[in-house]
Amino acid sequence: MIQFAYPLAAWLLAPWAVLLIWRVLQQRRLLQALMAMGEARVRYVVLGRIRFPRQWGKLALFFSASGLMIIAATGPKIGTRIVELERQGVDVLLVLDTSISMDARDVKPSRIAKARYEVGRLISRLEGDRIGMIVFAGSAHLHFPLTSDYAAAMLFLNAVDTRLVQLQGTVIAEALQLALRTFDPETEKYKSVVILSDGEDHDGRALEIARQAAATGIIIHTVGVGSPQGAPIPLDGRQEFKKDAAGRIVTSMLNEAMLKSLAREGGGTYTRVDNRSGGLEQLADEILAMEKRTLKTQSFAQFEDRYQYFVLPTLLLLLAELLLPGGRRKPPQIRSRYA
């Protein structure tokens, strides 16, 4: 089977054919005009150094070379070969806090919006790794499984908000347990969890689960979203803020101590995200530097490029046309009747 990488280049054969026909007709008319130049002896004296068969030969060599050049330009592919493509990477589970405290605006435009933005930048830097996401508030849910389809991951990421999990609260421990169940238990390395939260953990079991995860080879990184000074929590986009039982406005503050402890127990790093851009650059470098494993090997048939089979004859024909003389090197010897 034959395929062409650039089939539109074949249209160049049309002007090539027109030019060939025009050049042949012009050559014939020129030859007829020369043959009409008096008797044979006069033609021999005037045109003795020209060899007309060689002129035709040079013309044939030039047009053959240009025709082969056009065929080479179409990128012919003839025959196939089996190609194996290995994709190497690690499994990365993003654990994103979607509790209502993530609506606080100490990070602009809000904690949850900033987290989405930074996660999107992190995904764009991954190279062959599989990415998945768990969202949690008062309960944890798998938002999308591990995948190498980054475009689909971005679609799911853009759908994340603080209304995604109805049961409110912050149970990092349950989200970590779900992450452990999501990973392939047969591999002991090549796995990482990235927790993005303001650190308001309502369950003290997270540190123990982080130690268990680290013992199985899972690296846990934490990302603090917010500020230690904190900010009030807006209610459903209104100008009102969440209040406690005494009617005081609740201020949600970033619990860096808890998130740093979680990262330390999980063998990872802690990163704080604030109003500056590029907050997860170092984290992305950490993930890219991890030891990779072969996630998938694909075998497929690939057509072989054969344009070189036309390029080499083209060069040889052009060289032959250049070196082929169009006539005699010495003028013809003319002997008069008195010599």
pLDDT in tens, 45-59: 556 566 667 778 888
Mean pLDDT, range 25-33, rounded to an integer? 82
* Domain presence at residue 337: no
Do 315 and 212 fall within a single domain? no
Do 55 and 16 fall within a single domain? yes
Do 150 and 206 fall within a single domain? yes
Averaged confidence pLDDT in the chain? 83
The pLDDT assigned to 119 comes to: 94
Distance from the Cα of residue 309 to its chain's centroid: 31
Do 49 and 157 fall within a single domain? no
Q: Mapping DSSP to helix (H, G, I), strand (E, B) and coil, where does residue 247 land? A: coil
Do 268 and 172 fall within a single domain? yes
| Portion of the chain with pLDDT greater than 70, in percent | 83
* Domain presence at residue 66: yes
pLDDT at position 276 over 90: no
* Domain presence at residue 81: no
Asked, as a colleague might, if the bond just before 109 is cis with ω within 30 of 0, I would say yes
* Domain presence at residue 178: yes
Mean pLDDT, range 245-253, rounded to an integer? 84
Do 70 and 93 fall within a single domain? no
Do 65 and 196 fall within a single domain? no
The pLDDT assigned to 88 comes to: 73
pLDDT tens track for 170-180: 789 999 999 99
CB-CB contact of 203 with 171 (8 Å): yes
* Domain presence at residue 167: yes
Do 45 and 91 fall within a single domain? no
pLDDT tens track for 168-207: 877 899 999 999 999 877 776 789 999 999 987 766 788 9
CB-CB contact of 92 with 126 (8 Å): yes
**What global pTM score does this model have?**
0.63
pLDDT at position 219 over 50: yes
Do 95 and 173 fall within a single domain? yes
Give DSSP secondary structure letters for 243-276: B-TTSPBPEE---HHHHHHHHHHTEEEEEEE-SS
Structural domain boundaries, residue 290: 86-297
Q: Mapping DSSP to helix (H, G, I), strand (E, B) and coil, where does residue 41 land? A: helix
Q: Mapping DSSP to helix (H, G, I), strand (E, B) and coil, where does residue 77 land? A: strand
CB-CB contact of 146 with 158 (8 Å): no
Band (22; pLDDT cuts 50, 70, 90): very high
Q: How many domains is the chain built from?
A: 2
Give DSSP secondary structure letters for 308-330: HHHHHHHHHHHHHHHHS-SB-SS
Do 251 and 154 fall within a single domain? yes
pLDDT at position 12 over 70: yes
pLDDT at position 232 over 70: yes
Here the CATH number for the domain that contains residue 286 is 3.40.50.410
pLDDT at position 267 over 60: yes
What single-letter DSSP state applies at residue 50?
Answer: B
* Domain presence at residue 329: no
CA 4/CA 73 separation, integer angstroms = 9
* Domain presence at residue 339: no
* Domain presence at residue 140: yes
Do 136 and 180 fall within a single domain? yes
The pLDDT assigned to 246 comes to: 80
Do 293 and 313 fall within a single domain? no
Asked, as a colleague might, if the bond just before 313 is cis with ω within 30 of 0, I would say no
The pLDDT assigned to 307 comes to: 81
The pLDDT assigned to 43 comes to: 60
